Amino acid sequence: MYERILVPTDGSKASQGAIKHAIDIAKQYDATIHALYVVDSGTYSSLEAGSNIVAEALRGEGEKAVEQVVSAADDAGVEVTTSVQNGTAHRGILNYTEENDCDLVVMGTHGRSGLDRYLLGSVTEKIVRSSDVPVLTVRSHEEA
């Protein structure tokens, strides 16, 4: 049923639950996990000085985040492909899903509500509304 499962990660606790679910599903279906971190450096592009430093720091965070997925998947015997890309988070996720023919997206939620959610939006919500493939959302344990 599933051959390629995308796990967008930001290295947060919310992502950890999604990683566990994705690995479990991948083991069941003998699927490959695609771990993706999108460096949303556009948010910092207005900085006159230091935007390159911020982008490099974010790229370093991204490498660590996808390595967490690799480590967990290796322990479970699941194949992983990783990618750290620049772009807007939701667009990067949707583009990656299409370009790599992923058939499931497994994402964590951050549980923002009220004004925070209204002002900041939700990457997960944008993916759920826009994705052409099924999206499994996983709440972190601290939200429950």
Cα 137 to Cα 121: distance, rounded to the nearest angstrom: 16
Question: Would residue 129 count as lying in a domain?
Answer: yes
DSSP secondary structure code for residue 44 in this structure: G
* Model-wide pTM > 0.85: yes
DSSP secondary structure code for residue 42 in this structure: G
User: How many domains does one find in the chain?
Assistant: 1
Q: Which two tokens stand for residue 7?
A: 């796990």
Question: Would residue 143 count as lying in a domain?
Answer: no
SS3 141: coil
CA angle 68, 19, 31 (to 5 degrees): 105
Reported as a single tens digit per residue, the pLDDT across 4-42 is 999 999 988 889 999 999 999 999 999 999 999 999 866
Enclosing domain of residue 17 = 4-138
> Does 119 score more than 80 pLDDT?
no
Return the CATH number at 10: 3.40.50.620
Mean pLDDT of the region 108-130: 71
Q: 66 near 113, Cβ under 8 Å?
A: no
